[in-house]
């Protein structure tokens, strides 16, 4: 259980991105089921939502649901 709380501390959740304070990676959600990861060296890749280190955590779930909601609203415009 202590592991999950330290895992929560590793990430800084912002409105449209998550910052991994240990690696410097930034995660953003620009497509359903996919996160874009920008690494500290500037390279980027897409990963499945469930492959994110914060997937399944309370704050991670809120971030993903918020991103999906935002994408749904943009799709309707």
Q: What is the mean pLDDT of each run of 10 residues along the chain (77 residues)?
A: 58 95 97 96 97 96 96 89
What is the reported pLDDT for 4? 43
What is the Cα–Cα distance from 56 to 54, expressed in whole angstroms? Answer: 6
pTM: predicted TM-score of the whole model, two decimal places: 0.86
Beta-carbon contacts of 57 under 8 Å, excluding residues fewer than 6 positions away, are 4, 7, 8, 11
What is the Cα–Cα distance from 39 to 76, expressed in whole angstroms? Answer: 31
What is the reported pLDDT for 20? 97
What is the reported pLDDT for 73? 93
What is the Cα–Cα distance from 60 to 44, expressed in whole angstroms? Answer: 20
């Amino acid at each position: 259980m202590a592991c999950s709380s330290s895992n929560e501390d590793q990430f800084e959740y912002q409105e449209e991105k998550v910052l991994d304070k240990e690696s410097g990676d930034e995660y953003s959600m620009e497509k359903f089921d996919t996160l874009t990861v920008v690494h500290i060296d500037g390279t980027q890749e897409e990963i499945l939502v469930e492959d994110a280190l914060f997937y399944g955590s309370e704050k991670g779930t809120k971030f993903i649901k918020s991103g999906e909601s935002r994408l749904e609203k943009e799709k309707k415009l």
